[in-house]
Copies of this chain bind each other. A is one copy, B any other.
Amino acid sequence: MPPQFTFHRRIRFSDTDMAGIVHFANFYRFMEEAEHEMFRSLDARIVEDQPDGSVVGWPRVRASCSFEAPARYDDLIAIDIWITRIGVKSLTMSFKFRLGQTQIAHGELKTVFCRFQRDGKFESIPIPAEFTDKLTECPRATDDE
Protein backbone atom coordinates (compact mmCIF):
# COMPACT_ATOMS: atom_id res chain seq x y z
CA MET A 1 0.00 0.00 0.00
CA PRO A 2 1.46 3.38 -0.89
CA PRO A 3 1.68 5.95 1.92
CA GLN A 4 -1.17 8.48 2.24
CA PHE A 5 1.43 11.22 2.14
CA THR A 6 5.20 11.73 1.99
CA PHE A 7 6.93 14.68 3.62
CA HIS A 8 10.52 15.67 2.81
CA ARG A 9 12.53 17.25 5.60
CA ARG A 10 16.01 18.78 5.55
CA ILE A 11 18.03 17.95 8.68
CA ARG A 12 19.14 21.19 10.35
CA PHE A 13 22.32 21.79 12.35
CA SER A 14 20.23 22.38 15.48
CA ASP A 15 18.59 18.95 15.01
CA THR A 16 21.93 17.24 15.73
CA ASP A 17 23.63 16.45 19.04
CA MET A 18 27.22 15.88 20.14
CA ALA A 19 27.10 12.29 18.80
CA GLY A 20 27.00 13.93 15.36
CA ILE A 21 23.53 12.58 14.55
CA VAL A 22 19.93 13.77 14.85
CA HIS A 23 18.86 13.77 18.50
CA PHE A 24 16.22 11.03 18.89
CA ALA A 25 13.58 13.33 20.43
CA ASN A 26 13.50 15.32 17.18
CA PHE A 27 12.02 12.37 15.28
CA TYR A 28 8.76 12.96 17.19
CA ARG A 29 8.73 16.58 16.01
CA PHE A 30 9.34 15.34 12.45
CA MET A 31 6.34 12.98 12.79
CA GLU A 32 4.21 15.94 13.80
CA GLU A 33 5.45 18.02 10.86
CA ALA A 34 4.57 15.17 8.49
CA GLU A 35 1.13 14.81 10.13
CA HIS A 36 0.43 18.53 9.73
CA GLU A 37 1.54 18.58 6.11
CA MET A 38 -0.71 15.60 5.43
CA PHE A 39 -3.58 17.51 7.05
CA ARG A 40 -2.76 20.46 4.82
CA SER A 41 -2.80 18.18 1.75
CA LEU A 42 -6.36 17.20 2.82
CA ASP A 43 -7.30 20.83 3.25
CA ALA A 44 -7.87 20.12 6.96
CA ARG A 45 -6.64 22.24 9.85
CA ILE A 46 -4.89 20.78 12.91
CA VAL A 47 -6.25 23.51 15.20
CA GLU A 48 -9.57 25.21 14.55
CA ASP A 49 -11.44 27.98 16.35
CA GLN A 50 -15.11 27.18 16.92
CA PRO A 51 -18.03 29.66 16.80
CA ASP A 52 -18.62 29.18 20.56
CA GLY A 53 -15.09 30.36 21.44
CA SER A 54 -13.70 26.87 22.07
CA VAL A 55 -10.85 25.42 20.02
CA VAL A 56 -10.64 21.89 18.64
CA GLY A 57 -7.38 20.04 18.16
CA TRP A 58 -5.54 16.72 18.38
CA PRO A 59 -3.67 16.06 21.66
CA ARG A 60 -1.35 13.07 21.60
CA VAL A 61 -2.25 9.81 23.36
CA ARG A 62 0.87 7.83 22.56
CA ALA A 63 3.94 8.07 20.33
CA SER A 64 6.67 5.54 19.68
CA CYS A 65 9.66 5.41 17.37
CA SER A 66 12.27 2.77 16.55
CA PHE A 67 15.66 3.97 15.33
CA GLU A 68 17.43 1.83 12.75
CA ALA A 69 20.11 4.09 11.31
CA PRO A 70 21.18 7.66 12.07
CA ALA A 71 20.30 10.80 10.13
CA ARG A 72 22.92 13.53 9.92
CA TYR A 73 23.22 17.26 9.23
CA ASP A 74 22.00 18.30 5.79
CA ASP A 75 20.41 14.93 5.00
CA LEU A 76 17.14 15.24 3.13
CA ILE A 77 14.95 12.56 4.66
CA ALA A 78 11.55 11.33 3.43
CA ILE A 79 8.78 10.58 5.90
CA ASP A 80 5.96 8.33 4.66
CA ILE A 81 2.72 8.54 6.63
CA TRP A 82 -0.28 6.19 6.69
CA ILE A 83 -3.46 6.55 8.72
CA THR A 84 -3.77 3.03 10.10
CA ARG A 85 -6.86 3.39 12.28
CA ILE A 86 -9.78 5.84 12.52
CA GLY A 87 -11.70 5.44 15.77
CA VAL A 88 -14.76 7.42 16.85
CA LYS A 89 -12.58 9.98 18.58
CA SER A 90 -9.02 8.86 17.80
CA LEU A 91 -6.66 8.61 14.88
CA THR A 92 -3.59 6.35 14.62
CA MET A 93 -0.84 7.04 12.10
CA SER A 94 2.24 5.06 11.10
CA PHE A 95 5.48 6.60 9.87
CA LYS A 96 8.44 5.34 7.90
CA PHE A 97 11.60 7.49 7.76
CA ARG A 98 13.83 7.00 4.73
CA LEU A 99 17.24 8.33 3.66
CA GLY A 100 17.74 7.48 0.01
CA GLN A 101 16.94 3.76 -0.29
CA THR A 102 17.52 3.06 3.41
CA GLN A 103 14.77 2.94 6.05
CA ILE A 104 16.26 4.72 9.07
CA ALA A 105 13.33 4.70 11.52
CA HIS A 106 9.65 3.89 11.89
CA GLY A 107 7.07 5.12 14.34
CA GLU A 108 3.46 5.40 15.38
CA LEU A 109 1.36 8.26 16.72
CA LYS A 110 -2.10 8.03 18.28
CA THR A 111 -4.06 11.24 18.68
CA VAL A 112 -7.53 12.04 19.98
CA PHE A 113 -9.88 14.75 18.77
CA CYS A 114 -10.60 17.21 21.61
CA ARG A 115 -12.37 20.44 22.41
CA PHE A 116 -10.34 22.92 24.49
CA GLN A 117 -12.29 25.31 26.71
CA ARG A 118 -11.00 28.78 27.49
CA ASP A 119 -9.85 27.68 30.94
CA GLY A 120 -7.41 25.24 29.31
CA LYS A 121 -9.43 22.10 30.11
CA PHE A 122 -10.20 19.72 27.26
CA GLU A 123 -12.33 16.65 26.54
CA SER A 124 -12.41 14.16 23.67
CA ILE A 125 -15.23 14.45 21.15
CA PRO A 126 -16.24 12.46 18.02
CA ILE A 127 -14.22 13.22 14.90
CA PRO A 128 -16.54 15.13 12.53
CA ALA A 129 -17.63 13.37 9.33
CA GLU A 130 -16.30 16.30 7.26
CA PHE A 131 -12.82 15.20 8.33
CA THR A 132 -13.14 11.43 7.99
CA ASP A 133 -14.80 11.88 4.60
CA LYS A 134 -11.44 13.13 3.41
CA LEU A 135 -9.84 9.80 4.31
CA THR A 136 -11.94 7.49 2.17
CA GLU A 137 -9.26 4.92 1.43
CA CYS A 138 -8.68 4.22 5.09
CA PRO A 139 -10.50 1.33 6.90
CA ARG A 140 -12.75 2.56 9.75
CA ALA A 141 -13.03 1.32 13.32
CA THR A 142 -16.16 1.94 15.37
CA ASP A 143 -14.51 2.13 18.74
CA ASP A 144 -11.44 3.69 20.31
CA GLU A 145 -9.99 0.44 21.73
Which residues does A use to contact B, with CB under 8 Å? Answer: 12-14, 16-21, 23-26, 28-29, 32-33, 36, 46-47, 53, 57, 59-67, 70, 72-74, 116, 118, 120
**A32 and B61 contacting across the interface, CB-CB below 8 Å:** no
User: A63 contacts which of B19, B29, B36, B64 (Cβ < 8 Å)?
Assistant: B64
As for how many copies of this chain the complex holds, the number is: 4
Nearest residue (CB) in B for A25 is B28
| Besides A16-B18, A18-B20, A62-B67, 13 other A-B contacts (C-beta < 8 A) | A13-B32, A13-B46, A14-B32, A16-B17, A20-B120, A21-B120, A25-B28, A25-B29, A59-B70, A61-B67, A62-B64, A62-B66, A63-B64
